[in-house]
Amino acid sequence: MENMTHKAPAPASEKSTVTVRLLLFAVLRDIAGCDERLLTIDEGTRAQDVWNSLRLAHPELQPYVTPPLTAVNMSYVPSDTVLREGDELAFIPPVAGG
């Protein structure tokens, strides 16, 4: 008879996490009070989810449901991009100038 071991799936409370670096520019930097921060997030978190967290933390961002231009690792990406360990996430607001 073959000896088999089965590993039970991890409970939801033991989800894997990843660390990403969040970069904020211009008005977003001013609102958040910093230009970058390290975030520990659940595996499978999307850029949009990080944006939603920022909106909850900063009332000035509440009206902006759709995130600004989003980049991961210096490439523009859709906001539904899943973030991975070590990614650099940047939200780039529109810039007015003359």
- Domain range annotation of the chain: 15-92
Alpha-carbon distance 82 to 8, whole Å?
A: 26
Could you tell me the pLDDT band of residue 15, with boundaries at 50, 70 and 90? confident
Q: Domain 15-92 - what CATH class? A: alpha beta
The predicted model gives 23-31 an average pLDDT of: 94
End-to-end Cα separation, the chain, in angstroms: 78
Give the C-alpha separation, 35 to 31, whole Å: 10
pLDDT category at 1 given cuts 50, 70, 90 is very low
Q: Quote the pLDDT of residue 85.
A: 98
Place 96 in a pLDDT band, splitting at 50, 70 and 90: low
Q: What percent of the chain has pLDDT over 90?
A: 77
Q: Minimum mean pLDDT among 4-13, 26-35, 47-56: which range?
A: 4-13
CB 70 within 8 A of CB 49: no
Please tell me the predicted confidence (pLDDT) of residue 81. 98
Rounded alpha-carbon distances, angstroms, from residue 25 to 3, 6, 7, 40, 65: 57, 48, 45, 20, 18
> In the β-sheet with 75-76, what is the strand arrangement from edge to edge?
36-42, 17-24, 88-92, 69-72, 75-76
pTM: 0.81
* Strands in the chain per DSSP E: 17-24, 36-42, 69-72, 75-76, 88-92
